[in-house]
Each structure stands twice: as C-alpha cells, then as structure tokens.
Amino acid sequence: MNSDATVTLALSKGRIFDETAPLLAAAGIAPAQNPETSRELIIATNRPDVRLVIVRASDVPTYVQYGAADLGIAGKDVLYEHGGAGLYQPLDLGIAACKMMVAVPEGFDYVGAVRQGARLRVATKYLRAAREHFAAKGVHVDLIKLYGSMELAPLAGLADAIVDLVSTGNTLRANRLRAIEEIMPVSARLIVNQAALKVRRALIQPLLESFESAVTTHA
C-alpha cells in the first residue's frame, strides 16, 4: 500500500482515460498532465491526496490487487481474466461499453461445424472467458492466445473463430467477419484494493461516493 496520505488510482491511456476524464472532473480531480502526451507514468492531480498511475489496461487489476494502487478502472473483460482476487468492485462506471462476442468469417458454417462435433480453433486474448463459454456449450475448442488484432486470425488461416470485443461492429465488417454469439456485456468498473479500503476507508470512501455521484450525473 502507498503512503497513508495519498490515494493512488490506476488507469490506462486511450479509451479508459478519455472516458474517465469527465468522471474525474465531476469528482473534482484534475490531472496535472495529460497522460496521452506525457511520458511520465505517475501523474499528480490538483488534489494533493490523489495521484494517477498509468499502466496497460490488462495490468490495472494487478496493481490494485497488490496494493501498488488503491483504486483502478478496468473493463469487465480484463477483470474476468484476472479473476478478481483481492479486489472489491463497488461500481459499474458504464463507460467503455461493448460486448465480448464470438465471431467467424462471413461464409463459415459455425452451426454446422458445431453440430458435427468439429474441434474449432479459436483465437483470443480472453482465454478464460472463451474456455468457459465453449465448455458450457459443450463445443470442443483449441484456444490460441493472441494479444491483439484478433480479427486477422481467421483471415490469415490461424483460427476458425475469434473471441473479441465488439462495439460498432466496424472492425468485424471491415474484415468480413460476423458476430454469432454474445459471451458477456462489458463496461469499465471501479476497483478497490480490499485491504486498502478497510485500513484507509476515511480517504477512499469519499472518493467512491464522488465517483458514484459523477456516474449518476453522467448517466
């Protein structure tokens, strides 16, 4: 855990920071630098008791789990893969909303392949969610771990299907893929280190309340 006087909030650049910025502003928190342009990874704010740390989206739960950050903002996709150990997840912020879906090439007969008991090759960054989804359906899959650009995998012959996030559907369309099954709705959640919340409730609880009312106002 950090110094007793400062609360550390872990965020990722890009979409999560962009969509969190209005909530931070509504909670009275103004970053001293723009993380999109600054190379610094620890960013002070106008509040001496609040600082930001900028990490990869998939690393946010890890920083919070181990208390290197007290709070964080992470997508449900990332939280599901992490497993949530040591984390309290008090608030769905309703930002960075999308769906985790199974997608296949436009001409691929998914239903037929499944009916025949074929073993599908599925490329994804989301191994746990994919494994559980297909196991629940009784579909046999070989999972191939990727770190991004999942849409390329079927086009390049690496996989029959992908599990990825879909928002507008533009990326799927641009690559002649179609979404066939929803695995889960995804949005970003505020996460809190469980021990920090107990020990430093006086500092953290007011921040949770600020976020809660910021979300209600922006809803």
Where on the chain is the footprint of ligand PRP (CB under 6 A)?
148, 151, 164-171
Q: Minimal CA–CA distance to 163: which of 132, 128, 130, 135?
A: 130
Q: Minimal CA–CA distance to 175: which of 187, 166, 183?
A: 166
Residue 10 or 188: which CB sits closer to ligand ATP?
188
Choosing from 24, 29, 101, 186, the residue that interacts with ligand ATP (CB under 6 A) is 186
Q: Does residue 185 touch ligand ATP according to CB under 6 A? A: no
Q: How far is the CB of 202 from ligand ATP (least distance, A)?
A: 31
By CB under 6 A, the residues from 28 to 57 that bind ligand ATP are 56-57
In angstroms, rounded to a whole number, what is the distance separating the alpha carbons of residues 198 and 196? Answer: 5
Q: How far is the CB of 102 from ligand PRP (least distance, A)?
A: 13
Contact 54, 12 (CB under 8 A): yes
Q: Does residue 99 touch ligand ATP according to CB under 6 A? A: no
Q: Which helix (H) or strand (E) holds 166?
A: strand 161-166
In angstroms, rounded to a whole number, what is the distance separating the alpha carbons of residues 132 and 170? Answer: 26
User: Which spans of this chain sit near ligand ATP (rule: CB under 6 A)?
Assistant: 12, 14-16, 56-58, 75, 77-78, 96-98, 165, 167, 186, 188
